[in-house]
Amino acid sequence: MKPHCDDVFSRLSFCNRPLRLPAIAIALLLLLPFGQTPTQAAASEASTAHVYLLRGVLNIFSLGLDDIAAKLQAKGIPVTVANFVSWSSLADDAATRYRTGQIKTIILVGHSSGATALPDMAAKLDRLGVPVKLAIGLDSVFRTSLTGRVGHYINFYIANGAGTPVEKRRGFQGSLENVNVENVPGVGHMSIEKNQIMQHRVISAIDAVVFGRSEPASVAGKPRPGNANVGRRSTAGAAKLRH
């Protein structure tokens, strides 16, 4: 008997030459309309993250943060760049967006006085019930300490300059990493956020949170041969920064 060929599946199976598709290919064809490609999934993760970058005094000494912001935007990550004095209103903005579902991942970056303000901004967000996944300070000009919850706090500081380690207060929840970058080539208080090595460190840590792991791996590692002091961390037994 000649097979009935009125429907698509009959034609694929019986009419003319039989069409043989691997089982994996069939499964992918069935899932394609309903799923996301890896590129689409990454874009979705990026669009629901937000990075708040806090400049230092007068908005003229932290322009490297604008470069970092541009590189993050090129990856599809929304950013806000503002002076450090706006930290409280920015926290309110982040909390509102988080509660409405516009933001799922909050990341903070600050340079100089902006780095000094980061613990206050993170603490306010914690009081508002909003989690901070990552905070990165670039050479705070005053000694700072952490309270509340921060998924991962990285404090890059220049020990032979104005920078100091960040301290934990009682009740702090999260991980804290103090990294001395005094021996990174070309790094100074006024250039740390413009330095290409440091920009790479900052963006890599942000990428790890937005596109990969829930928090970045340690930014410290083995130093290059012949430069044993590069990236020395402030805590005992800590590893050294990798170039």
25-40 average pLDDT score: 50
The letter for the amino acid at 77 is I
Judge whether residue 7 has pLDDT over 70: no
Would you state the pLDDT for residue 37? Answer: 63
Specify the higher pLDDT residue, 199 or 60.
199
Would you state the pLDDT for residue 23? Answer: 59
Judge whether residue 80 has pLDDT over 50: yes
130-153 average pLDDT score: 95
Exposed (0-12), middle (13-18) or buried (19+): which is 59, by Cβ within 10 Å?
Answer: middle
Judge whether residue 1 has pLDDT over 70: no
212-219 average pLDDT score: 55
Structural domains of the chain, with CATH: 47-241 (3.40.50.1820)
Judge whether residue 26 has pLDDT over 60: no
Least confident of 4-13, 40-49, 113-122, 140-149: 4-13
Exposed (0-12), middle (13-18) or buried (19+): which is 67, by Cβ within 10 Å?
Answer: middle
pLDDT over 90, % of the chain: 62
pLDDT band at 219 (very low <50, low <70, confident <90, very high): low
Would you state the pLDDT for residue 74? Answer: 96
Tokens describing residue 54: 């806090």
Judge whether residue 12 has pLDDT over 70: no
Would you state the pLDDT for residue 162? Answer: 80
Would you state the pLDDT for residue 13? Answer: 44
pLDDT digits (tens, 9 = 90+) for 156-165: 999 988 889 9
Specify the higher pLDDT residue, 171 or 74.
74
Judge whether residue 33 has pLDDT over 60: no
- This prediction has a pTM of 0.74
Cα–Cα distance for residue pair 125/121, rounded to 1 Å: 6
Cα–Cα distance for residue pair 7/11, rounded to 1 Å: 6
Neighbours of 128 (CB within 10 A): 14
β-bridge pairing 145-146 and 134-138: unpaired
